[in-house]
Amino acid sequence: MTTTTLEKPAKTEARVKASDPIYGAILDFLIDEAAMLDDDRHAEWLDCLADDIIYRMPLRNSLYRRDGAGFDERSNHWLDNRQSLAMRVQRTRDVPSAWDRDPAPRIRRMVTNLVVHETDTLGEYAATTYLLLLRHRFEAPGYDMLTAKREDSIRRGSNGALKLARRLVLLDQAALGAVYINVFM
Amino acid sequence: MNEIARDVLAGRTTRVLRDGTSIGDLIDLDRREVAMRVLSDPEIHRLEMEKIFGRAWIAVTHEAEIPNSGDYVLRNMGEDRVIVTRTPKGEIAVLLNVCSHRGFEVCRADHGNTHSFKCPYHGWAFDTSGNLLGAPLDKEMYGNWDKSQYGLRKARVQVLDGIVYATFDTSSATLEDWLGPAAWYLERSGNCKRVPLGSPTRYHVNANWKTFMDTASGDDYHPVTLHRGVTEMGIFQLPGAPGSKMTLTGMNTVLATNAQGNSTLAFAEGFPIIQNFDVNSEDFLAFKNRVFATVIFPQSVVWGTITKSLPNGMPYSTSTLTRIAPTGPDSFAFSAQVLVDRDAPEEVFEFERQQTALGIILLDDFEANLSQQRAAKGHTSRQQPLRYFARGERLKRTDWPGPGTVYAAPLKDDGQWHFWRRWFQLMTDEPH
């Protein structure tokens, strides 16, 4: 694994309207992606990723406003490339002794509030979504819950299919309220 | 005379719980069993806050997390919240985050830099040493008052090998008393030369704090089953796992325990846990007799280091400071902070930011903690014993250079039993 570049194409002022076909294509892509993860179709999900995917979920702190939003530049819940994401998929799907995965948890990802902007790279778009992730296990009276804002870079691959090139997951919780360290957001 | 008759803890007068059960009824020193009730009983939890967390030296941070005057972090000591600050004189202060006036929390951020903490309620302001600087309209309110009487409550602070420990205990017991022989191992962990990679990773886990610390205290019997997924993924070959050439008894580790309930897992020559690791290499030999993990009762673990290497082959080492804070009888706050050599090249820091294996191993441990906690709720389950009867007497080693009661190789419960004995001793100690 080499040094990870977090840089992504700069978002431009040009917002892609909901009536634009590319907006619809990106919305379909994100909804399909969530369904693949919810339905344990992780191999298909890996196919949605660009080869140079960078997936980052920084740690967060609760700070005074003057000190910023509290995302830690130096440490992460996840800072993954394609290889390490594939390892997480293996842990999620193929490992008999992954105790948190069997019996299978019921995980539901609600993807909303899609805003798309063009970037300074042709054919690459900046897509912001909100994610509500609910997980239910055993006969628990309630759900484990996580919310986040996701800042994605989505581009057209060589075969015309959309690919996820960058994902930045900005969690709302500082101390995670449930054990979510291997759940794709 | 059997072992129990000679046991220094046997026959203690112990606190009686409201239903007539005594603490001594919950632990069987002879059979080495502990009733699961200790994981879920609110009365026991309150007693632990007084008898254990109220007296313990608690690891709160690494000194390099607050390098500059005015730097602070917010931390837990048991269920108390404290501010750990660097004062203008360069000293470290640990202050109860409770206004000396009406109890509002004077610090409300996880970290930052400030010259004072001003209470949002009535405006009392304190410096980074906890001294009261002033209060609005104080002459009208209090006349000629002695401000020196109204500082924030200060904990005693000691630093050992870069880790900051604090206690609100007012007895003369020092950190060295608390650590016992474990200090020898901590001093060899090299953490005074390290700095935190970043903020601590924090989780809330719905399980009693002792479930985590019990496993950490030398349970080398669990990895082969609980962490088998790591082997199935091809990350590590766990000794004793299917397909592994290594056996559990062939693992050349030692566990050094002590009466203070602390334990150190160290690796002797030939420690063969890493797949493809050349045990004859110079890199490896440099790590012989190296500390792997030191568990400090009741709430911290300094995970030492196994050699790692960058993709270009450059070897380096790290450690991880794990801290546990109970947040009730059935939940704890977990915190882990990776420590990297201060002088390491930037590539090491960058590479460490991408490491994920620890999180995957932790998933398994939390799974055990959560399951034990669900079980400990039931009326009948609470009477069920946790069992620690694999005795390591036959494994005792006297040729080890470090202090403590030292056992060779895994396959014993003595590390955890030392944890429980210390728990019992503190829970039944009456103040002097």
- Report pLDDT for A6: 61
Name the nearest CA neighbour of B166 among B240, B231, B92: B92
C-alpha to C-alpha distance for B46 and B54, rounded to whole angstroms = 10
**A79 interface with B at CB cutoff 8 Å:** yes
Range of the domain at B162: 58-167
Position B43 in a domain: no
Both B353 and B381 in one domain: the answer is yes
List phi, psi (to 5°) of B278: -85, 105
> pLDDT digit string (tens) for B226-251?
988 888 887 766 666 666 655 666 66
Length of chain B: 432
Confidence band, pLDDT 50/70/90 cuts, at residue B304: confident
Both B228 and B139 in one domain: the answer is no
Q: Do B201 and A77 touch (CB under 8 A)?
A: yes
- Report pLDDT for B214: 97
Q: Do A78 and B112 touch (CB under 8 A)?
A: no
Confidence band, pLDDT 50/70/90 cuts, at residue B262: very high
Strands B263-267 and B253-257: antiparallel
User: What percent of chain A has a predicted confidence (pLDDT) above 90?
Assistant: 80
Position B77 in a domain: yes
Both B161 and B214 in one domain: the answer is no
**B243 interface with A at CB cutoff 8 Å:** no
> pLDDT digit string (tens) for B53-74?
999 999 999 999 999 999 999 9
Mean pLDDT estimate for chain B: 88
Question: What is the number of structural domains in chain B?
Answer: 2
- For residue A182, which residues of chain B lie inside 8 Å, CB to CB? 359-360, 363
> pTM here?
0.93
pLDDT at B305 over 50: yes
Position B20 in a domain: no
Name the nearest CA neighbour of B130 among B142, B148, B143, B145: B148
Q: Tokens in use for A102?
A: 């069997």
Position B159 in a domain: yes
Mean pLDDT estimate for chain A: 92
- Report pLDDT for B322: 96
Q: Of B110, B139, B167, which residue is a domain's last?
A: B167
> Cα-Cα-Cα-Cα dihedral of B94, B100, B104, B110, to 10°?
-10
> pLDDT digit string (tens) for B319-354?
899 999 999 999 999 999 999 999 999 999 999 888
Strands A49-60 and A71-80: antiparallel
Position B18 in a domain: no
**A83 interface with B at CB cutoff 8 Å:** no
Both B76 and B218 in one domain: the answer is no
**B236 interface with A at CB cutoff 8 Å:** no
- Report pLDDT for B179: 97
Q: Do A176 and B202 touch (CB under 8 A)?
A: yes
CATH of residue B115's domain is: 2.102.10.10
The C-alpha angle B330, B335, B338, rounded to 5 degrees, equals 155
* Side-chain-side CA neighbours of residue B60 (13 Å): 36
Contact B294, B308 (CB under 8 A): no
Using CB atoms, pick whichever of B197, B363, B370 lies closest to residue A74: B197
- Under 8 Å CB pairs connecting chains A and B tally to 115
- What is the pLDDT averaged over residues A146-172? 95
Position B204 in a domain: yes
Q: Of B124, B144, B167, which residue is a domain's last?
A: B167
pLDDT at B10 over 90: no
Both B130 and B260 in one domain: the answer is no
pLDDT at B11 over 90: no
Both B250 and B270 in one domain: the answer is yes
Q: Do A91 and B311 touch (CB under 8 A)?
A: no
- For residue A89, which residues of chain B lie inside 8 Å, CB to CB? none
**A177 interface with B at CB cutoff 8 Å:** yes
The 10 Å Cβ neighbour count of residue B367 is 17
Highest mean pLDDT among B64-78, B271-285, B389-403: B64-78
- What is the pLDDT averaged over residues B397-413? 84
Both B148 and B229 in one domain: the answer is no
Both B111 and B201 in one domain: the answer is no
Confidence band, pLDDT 50/70/90 cuts, at residue A73: confident
Both B378 and B360 in one domain: the answer is yes
Contact A170, A71 (CB under 8 A): yes
Domain range list for chain A: 11-171
Q: Do B356 and A61 touch (CB under 8 A)?
A: no
- Report pLDDT for A126: 97
pLDDT at B150 over 70: yes
**B45 SS3 class:** helix
Position B2 in a domain: no
Query: Among all chains, which residue has been given the structure tokens 């903490």?
Result: B117
Both B182 and B160 in one domain: the answer is no
- Report pLDDT for B273: 36
- For residue A75, which residues of chain B lie inside 8 Å, CB to CB? 197-199, 201, 338, 353
- Among B354, B370, B377, pick the best mutation site for testing chain A contact (most A Cβ within 10 A): B354
C-alpha to C-alpha distance for A75 and A72, rounded to whole angstroms = 6
- Report pLDDT for B415: 94
**B370 interface with A at CB cutoff 8 Å:** yes
pLDDT at A29 over 90: yes
3-state SS string for chain A: CCCCCCCCCCEEEEEECCCCHHHHHHHHHHHHHHHHHHCCCHHHHHHCEEEEEEEEEEEECCCCHHHCCCEEEEEEEEEECHHHHHHHHHHHHCCCCCHHHCCCCEEEEEEEEEEEEEECCCCEEEEEEEEEEEEECCCCCCCEEEEEEEEEEEEECCCCCEEEEEEEEEECCCCECCCCCCCCC
Q: Tokens in use for B344?
A: 């390491």
pLDDT at A3 over 80: no
- What is the pLDDT averaged over residues B165-175? 95
Both B236 and B381 in one domain: the answer is yes
CATH of residue B401's domain is: 3.90.380.10
List phi, psi (to 5°) of B427: -65, -20
- What is the pLDDT averaged over residues B404-413? 86
DSSP assignment letter at B242: T
ipTM (interface pTM): 0.93
CA distances (Å), origin B144, targets B47, B135, B139, B141: 41, 12, 7, 9
- Chain B residue at shortest CA distance from A139: B374
- What is the pLDDT averaged over residues A120-129? 96
- Report pLDDT for A153: 97
Both B232 and B377 in one domain: the answer is yes
- Report pLDDT for B296: 97
**A73 interface with B at CB cutoff 8 Å:** yes
- For residue A98, which residues of chain B lie inside 8 Å, CB to CB? 229, 363
- Among A88, A97, A171, pick the best mutation site for testing chain B contact (most B Cβ within 10 A): A97
pLDDT at B50 over 90: yes
Give the fold, CATH level 3, of A11-171.
Nuclear Transport Factor 2; Chain: A, (3.10.450)
- What is the pLDDT averaged over residues A149-176? 95
pLDDT at B277 over 60: no
C-alpha to C-alpha distance for B6 and A114, rounded to whole angstroms = 70
Q: Of B115, B148, B167, which residue is a domain's last?
A: B167
Q: What is the separation of C-alpha B45 from the centre of its chain, rounded to a whole number of angstroms?
A: 17
- For residue B349, which residues of chain A lie inside 8 Å, CB to CB? 74
DSSP assignment letter at B51: I
pLDDT at B270 over 60: no
Q: Do A177 and B338 touch (CB under 8 A)?
A: no
